[in-house]
């Protein structure tokens, strides 16, 4: 019994000593401060922002301090619109936040299908409008009808890629042109554009696109965004010339088009033309490029009109709405050059 008690007591003493030694090992010993303490960066400091300028009581901010590579832009092309809450003061001490961009993401081109005087009347006095009207009077004037910061009623029911109702995100340019007449065979015959008008349109588009950083894929015809309803500005509008001479809009590379054309011809294109799988794939590709088109697997009216609109823009020599090998090759070349991001 005594021996047992002795062993228990000895064990208790050993455990107690061991615990105290471990406690000493875990004891916190503060570090001696270094002779040169680290300097703490001032995380609250900001790069000085350009000041808001004021003219005749109106505020402006025209310098971009945001990251243009992220499509952010803090510049205002016009006066800053601010609230005026009763009894309070709105201040711009921290203006502007860098996380913002422009409403103007698309530029849509139209023709009026009317002469100059009627175009002005309709676009200013009725329930349709555009931001700009390019006249056909041989002068150097371009009429502004709507503030760029406001919605004009020019696009109507519309879609391109993932976006719909493009009035919300676009600038509309109307060009005075009589549109088309129909010949005895039922084919549309379009009126040409005046040379002075083309130069005006090019200068105007270039200015708008540069200011708002609108990508080439978003410079479109009315017929592109509403192919089942609209034909303007039609096949005589010189899209390729604007691309070549002014770097405006989209166009395909000839070598890529020829490569796709040779492939289409070598695979017996006509034999699969009416195959529902082939039609479905073509509709998918038109949709992928940007057109708002339902996938029916049939050469229905909507598909024919969409192909026709595509030909107005990219293959104006023949706009019959039939997908021949050349139209098919142009579509492939454009998808390759302008993929959806």
- The residue among 164, 160, 173 whose CA lies nearest residue 206 is 173
| Mean pLDDT per 10-residue interval, the chain, length 341 residues | 40 41 46 49 65 91 91 91 96 94 96 97 98 96 97 98 97 98 93 97 98 97 98 98 97 98 91 94 97 97 98 97 97 97 79
Strands (E), the chain: 53-55, 58-60, 106-111, 132-134, 143-144, 159-160, 163-164, 170-175, 180-182, 188-190, 219-221
- The residue among 228, 219, 220, 221 whose CA lies nearest residue 293 is 228
Q: What is the pTM of this model?
A: 0.84
Tokens of 282: 């073509």
Rounded to whole angstroms, the Cα distance separating 185 from 264 reads 30
Distance of CA 79 to the CA centre of its chain: 24
Residues with Cβ within 8 Å of residue 238, at least 6 apart in sequence: 193, 198
Which entry of 46, 174, 245, 308 is annotated as an active-site residue? 174
DSSP state of 59: E
Rounded to whole angstroms, the Cα distance separating 119 from 109 reads 15
**55 catalytic per annotation:** no
DSSP state of 157: S
Whether 159 and 228 have beta carbons less than 8 Å apart is answered as: no
Per-residue pLDDT at 71: 86
Tokens of 148: 């760029």
């Amino acid at each position: 019994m005594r021996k047992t008690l002795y062993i228990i007591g000895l064990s208790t003493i050993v455990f107690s000593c061991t615990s105290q030694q471990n406690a000493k090992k875990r004891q916190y010993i503060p570090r001696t401060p270094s002779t040169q303490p680290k300097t703490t960066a001032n995380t609250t400091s900001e790069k000085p922002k350009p000041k808001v300028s004021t003219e005749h009581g109106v505020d402006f901010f025209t310098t971009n301090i945001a990251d243009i590579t992220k499509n952010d832009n803090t510049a205002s092309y016009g006066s800053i619109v601010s609230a005026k809450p009763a009894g309070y003061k709105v201040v711009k001490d921290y203006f502007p936040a860098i996380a913002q961009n422009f409403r103007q993401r698309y530029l849509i081109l139209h023709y009026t299908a009317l002469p100059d005087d009627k175009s002005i009347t309709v676009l200013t006095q009725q329930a349709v409008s555009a931001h700009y009207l390019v006249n056909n009077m041989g002068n150097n004037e371009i009429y502004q009808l709507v503030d760029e910061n406001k919605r004009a009623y020019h696009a109507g029911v519309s879609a391109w890629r993932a976006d719909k109702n493009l009035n919300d995100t676009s600038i509309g340019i109307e060009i005075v042109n009589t549109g088309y007449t129909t010949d005895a065979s039922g084919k549309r015959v379009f009126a040409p554009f005046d040379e002075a008008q083309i130069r005006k349109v090019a200068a105007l588009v270039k200015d708008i696109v540069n200011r708002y950083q609108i990508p080439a894929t978003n410079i479109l015809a009315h017929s592109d965004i509403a192919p089942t309803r609209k034909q303007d500005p039609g096949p005589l509008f010189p899209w390729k010339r604007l691309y070549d001479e002014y770097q405006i809009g989209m166009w395909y590379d000839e070598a890529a088009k020829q490569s796709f054309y040779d492939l289409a011809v070598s695979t017996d294109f006509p034999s699969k033309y009416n195959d529902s799988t082939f039609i479905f794939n073509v509709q998918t590709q038109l949709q992928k490029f940007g057109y708002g088109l339902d996938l029916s697997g049939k050469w229905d009216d909507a598909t024919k009109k969409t192909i026709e609109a595509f030909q107005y823009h990219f293959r104006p020599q023949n706009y019959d709405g039939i997908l021949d090998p050349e139209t098919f090759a142009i579509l492939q070349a454009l998808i390759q050059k302008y993929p959806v991001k």
